[in-house]
Amino acid sequence: DIQLTQSPSFLSASVGDRVTITCRASQGISSYLAWYQQKPGKAPKLLIYAASTLQSGVPSRFSGSGSGTEFTLTISSLQPEDFATYYCQQVNIFPRTFGQGTKVEIK
């Protein structure tokens, strides 16, 4: 199975900060990576797919980049509604593994 390692696991930031989360894959997955946002008690929400394509309706302050084994999710200016847990997922092969998550909290 492909292992995904996110860093950091926990991040404390302020409104307006630029935030970057990294996802590393144990083997190359081309650009077959998605990012999700999950708030407590809610279902995950798709933010980005194909490593860098913004899902419809997602604010442009979210962006993704990378290919192969290293990927990043960037929030250009953190907003109050962005405090949540973020997961990467590889969709290259089954099983479609997730990273362990990065919790973004208010500083």
* Residue 16: CB minimum distance to other proteins, A: 28
Indicate the residue among 16 and 40 with the shorter CB distance to other proteins. 40
> Is there binding between residue 1 and other proteins (CB under 8 A)?
yes
> How many residues of this chain interact with other proteins, rule: CB under 8 A?
25
> Is there binding between residue 87 and other proteins (CB under 8 A)?
yes
CB 90 within 8 A of CB 82: no
3 state SS of 73: strand
The Cα-based distances of 50 to 3, 16, 41, 47, 105 in angstroms read: 18, 26, 27, 11, 26
> Is there binding between residue 105 and other proteins (CB under 8 A)?
no
3 state SS of 29: coil
Residues interacting with other proteins, by CB under 8 A? Answer: 1, 32, 34, 36, 38, 42-46, 49-50, 55, 87, 89, 91-92, 94-101
